[in-house]
Amino acid sequence: MIKNVGTAEKIRAEILRRIQESADLDDSCRDCDIPIPRKVDPAANGGCNWVIDEFRLVAQECMAPLKAVIAEMMREYDLT
């Protein structure tokens, strides 16, 4: 599968857009904030060259649907 390519800011913005539009997230989770993705070795990360692994400001009840959105993006995007 050919992946889209984006900057860290573009990937973060798309994740936040999808969070806003997600039917799986209630209103309290739609305002979650996430850091920008950081580059990692794709061989050590399931073929994806970026990760978001700090969720300090995210409520526990929002973690599973948020991580689902991020996992979907990781299948679709590579970080430039």
In tens, the pLDDT along 68-78 reads 999 999 999 99
From the CB of residue 41, how many other CB atoms can be counted at a distance below 10 Å? Answer: 7
Q: Quote the domain boundaries for residue 68.
A: 4-79
The model's pTM is 0.90
CB 1 within 8 A of CB 73: no
* Res 10: pLDDT: 98
* Over residues 1-26, mean pLDDT: 92
pLDDT digits (tens, 9 = 90+) for 27-36: 888 888 899 9
Q: How many domains does the chain have?
A: 1
Instruction: Quote the strand ranges of 1-80, DSSP E.
Output: 4-6, 38-39, 50-51, 77-79
Distance from C-alpha of 62 to C-alpha of 46, rounded to nearest angstrom: 23
Burial of residue 60 (number of CB atoms within 10 Å: 0-12, 13-18, 19+): exposed
